[in-house]
Amino acid sequence: MALKYKLKREQVLDDDGTEIATVRGLSLNDIVGLIMINKDAMEGLFAQFNGRDPESIGEDDINGIGIAMIESAPTLVAQAIAEATDAYKDHQQVEGEDTPMDTILSMPTGLQIHLLEKIGRLTFEKGGSPKKLLAQVMTLVGKDLSASPRA
């Protein structure tokens, strides 16, 4: 049987109806990769869940991760947006021009949140809740995060 999955994408529009980006959900592979390259920032975020039963993690806990990421790890947020928009897929760096990361990092916070909301909905649309994904990610990277060397 052939794989019949089709990657779902959605446009993100500005207030005046101008398309800002087209986003997709993040795969487990995308999320683990983002976490691994941002170990220091993620260690603090995941510490609050260390040793907890996944069933004890509530919606407020999950929402808190998103808010904490925006406050303490803006580069991680920008990387997630870049990943979900495939910003570097066809990007050719031209000297003197902004990179996709430069553009994303300069976006107003409200616009970044709007992008993250769409990305989050597409990420969790099928196959489980944020709680379930958090438990999977913790299982996959938890040991690596706790074993990371201290500076």
User: Which residues are within 8 A (CB) of 41 and not within 5 positions of it... i.e. 6 or more apart?
Assistant: 69, 72, 73, 75, 76
Specify burial of residue 42 (Cβ count, 10 A radius: 0-12, 13-18, 19+).
buried
Q: Is the pLDDT of residue 89 over 50?
A: yes
Q: How confident is the model at residue 140 (pLDDT cuts 50, 70, 90)?
A: low
Q: How confident is the model at residue 150 (pLDDT cuts 50, 70, 90)?
A: very low
Q: What percent of the chain has pLDDT over 90?
A: 21
Tell me what the mean pLDDT of segment 105-122 comes to.
Answer: 88
More confident residue, 121 or 55: 121
Token code pair at residue 90: 């066809």
More confident residue, 42 or 108: 108
Cα–Cα distance measured from residue 151 to residue 133, given in angstroms and rounded to the nearest whole number = 29
Tell me what the mean pLDDT of segment 14-32 comes to.
Answer: 89
Specify burial of residue 17 (Cβ count, 10 A radius: 0-12, 13-18, 19+).
exposed
Q: What DSSP state is assigned to residue 51?
A: T
Q: Is the pLDDT of residue 14 over 90?
A: no
Write down the pLDDT at residue 131.
66
User: Which residues are within 8 A (CB) of 40 and not within 5 positions of it... i.e. 6 or more apart?
Assistant: 148
Average predicted confidence (pLDDT) for the chain: 79
Look at phi and psi of residue 127 and say left if phi exceeds 0, alpha if psi is from -120 to 50, else beta: left
Tell me what the mean pLDDT of segment 120-148 comes to.
Answer: 65
User: Which residues are within 8 A (CB) of 134 and not within 5 positions of it... i.e. 6 or more apart?
Assistant: 49, 54, 57, 62, 65
Tell me what the mean pLDDT of segment 4-27 comes to.
Answer: 88
